Amino acid sequence: MALKEKACIGLNPNTYSHLTEHLAPICVIMDMPLLLTDEKHAAEAQRLYPNLKVLLMDWEDVTPQFLIEHYDVFFQSEPWKRHEFYANFRGLEKAYLKEVRNVHCPHGFSDKIFWLEKCVWEDIVLIYGENMIDLFKGLGIAEHLNAAPRVGNYRYLYYKHYQSHFDRLAEEHVWSRFKNRQPTILYAPTCHDQDHTTSFMHAEQLFEKVPSSYNLLVKIHPALEETDGPAVYRMMGKYEKRDNIVFIQDFPPVYPLLAKSDLYIGDMSSIGYDFLSFNRPMFFLNQTKKDAKKDRNLFLYRCGFEILPEQYGELYQILETQLPFDQERYGSIRKEIYRYTFGEEIPFEKIRESIMQATFSPKKFD
């Protein structure tokens, strides 16, 4: 069977916008549709992501029978352990005389080990680069990987390919909301996870004391609204009327925000690794107060300056004292960690070939 004969489809039936951000570029690269079940989200996805094909279906019609009848390979960002996937389709594979495969597309790379370690149990998982492999080796679970094609930083490549489109949308929806054109700080807190790594609920000083000479762009993680909606909306209600603070909830594309941000403040979000693409100053809010030199969960912190919770009130003074030395101290290590995490740029066609070859690999049942 030729590689091009396999019919592929991206799956986001729960219509999570932050997952569409990761699936849409892969769908374009693989020339396959993205299945969605919400009409508004489908229209928005097509508006945001150039060349994206969308298959809009009713939820109840997205059945295993439909999928196996029309497609051979599924791509999704929600976890689906291969043993469960194989079991779910075993009878249908016999009935339809065909084999189906599932490709897991991680929604970003971060040091949240409890999430990424689940990837080794997928049928096929897309690997960004060596950092991800070494993380699995360090946990002693790399042997459980099945097929794992390398894809590099495909989302950044997709952004660059359609940069004028994304930058225009970001100008309309984000940058035009600031009163003045001045240096912008991007604050991208992670969601409220089982390790309590988000800094958002403890970072009011970040909003209260932002200097008038800076703009503060706050990228709200959609899961943070689900787990801590009242706290998020209270903070937004208190500060969103300031002309140099903008909260972003409904603009999923990340790279057009990073491209025009002058520095990054974060905790454990995968956006921190994305920001390495631009080698600009980074500051990390260590909410858990763990030892960044010893803890693998804080690996990215070596790329910038660490700030402890008791220092949040002096954040902007710290920022001003550290910025003059940033490139000298962290410029080289950011480049190194970027290469370690994403590797060299891989052209779309090579990515597609690598993934398609992986779909012909043997299934792993152990």
pLDDT value of residue 195: 54
Same-domain pairing of 147 and 176: no
In a domain, 69, yes or no: yes
CATH number of the domain where residue 66 is located: 3.40.50
Residue 181 and residue 134 share a domain: no
Q: What is the CATH number of the domain that holds 256?
A: 3.40.50.12580
Give the pLDDT confidence score for residue 222 in this predicted structure.
76
Residue 159 lies in a domain: no
Q: What is the pLDDT along the chain (366 residues), one digit of tens a residue?
A: 445 579 999 999 999 999 999 999 999 999 999 999 999 999 999 999 999 999 999 999 999 999 999 999 999 999 999 999 999 999 999 999 999 999 999 999 987 777 788 999 999 999 999 999 999 999 999 999 999 999 999 999 999 999 999 999 999 999 999 999 999 999 998 765 555 457 777 788 999 999 999 999 999 877 777 666 788 888 899 999 999 999 998 899 999 999 999 999 998 889 999 999 999 999 999 988 888 888 888 999 999 999 999 999 999 999 999 999 999 999 999 999 999 999 999 999 999 999 999 999 999 997
DSSP characters for 234-269?
HHHHHHTTSTTEEEESS----HHHHTT-SEEEESS-
Residues shown for the chain: 366
Residues 254 and 314 reside in one and the same domain: yes
The answer to whether residue 3 sits within a structural domain is: no
**Under a CB-based contact definition with an 8 Å cutoff, are residues 100 and 73 in contact?**
yes
- Give the containing element (helix H, strand E) for 54: strand 53-56
Model confidence pLDDT, tens digit, residues 163-175: 999 999 999 999 9
For residues 185 and 261, the answer to whether their CB atoms sit within 8 Å is: yes
Q: Is 232 domain-assigned? A: yes
pLDDT at residue 2 in the model: 46
Residue 1 lies in a domain: no
Kindly state whether residues 330 and 353 are assigned to the same domain.
no
Domain total for the chain?
A: 2
**In a shared domain, residues 119 and 141:** yes
Residue 123 lies in a domain: yes
The whole model's pTM is what?
A: 0.94
Opening angle at CA 73, ends 69 and 75, nearest 5: 120
- Give the pLDDT of residue 290: 87
Is there a domain that residue 24 lies in? yes
Q: Tell me, what's the pLDDT at 126?
A: 98
- Domain of residue 309, residue span: 172-342
In the three-class reduction of DSSP (H, G, I as helix; E, B as strand; rest coil), residue 139 is classed as coil
Specify whether 75 is located in the same domain as 187: no
189/334 same-domain check: yes
